[in-house]
Amino acid sequence: MDYIHLKDMQFYGYHGVLSAETTLGQRFRANVSLAVDMTEAGETDDLNYTVNYAEVYALCRDIVEGEPLKLIEALVTKIANSILETYADKVKGVRVELIKPDPPIHGYYKEVSVEVTRGEF
């Protein structure tokens, strides 16, 4: 299997359980990996045989910067399912990690993240 990786995409959204999160918003980072067969794209140099990662970025951006959800678990699931539905003919599996660099919890830590894997990976 071949993989396309989109790393450290950065967005601003209004997701969370606390009112401050949905009012002020916060930064989110995302890493997405797509399991695809790139054989034909590699041999033909034709974008039609692979996934346009600019489109995947836009899909992720629209979801993260779109309708607020309470849980980042729901957000990563929505991203993963949307990618699989949009690119059902090309993407065999997807892994999505969503990172909250500054969640509103007391303590010392670098970040909090949630990751899901769907399909064949």
How many domains does the chain divide into? 1
pLDDT confidence of residue 106:
86
d(CA 50, CA 63): 22
Nearest by Cα to 60 from 99, 110, 88? 99
Active centre residues (catalytic)? 100
Q: What is the pLDDT of residues 57-74, one digit of tens each?
A: 999 999 999 999 999 999
Band the pLDDT of 108: cuts 50, 70, 90.
confident
d(CA 33, CA 44): 23
Q: pLDDT averaged over the chain?
A: 97
Give the domain extent around 7: 2-119
- Which CATH number is 84's domain given? 3.30.1130.10
Burial 51-68 (b: 16+ CB within 10 A, else e): beeeebeebbbebbeeee
Q: Model-level pTM greater than 0.85?
A: yes
pLDDT confidence of residue 6:
99
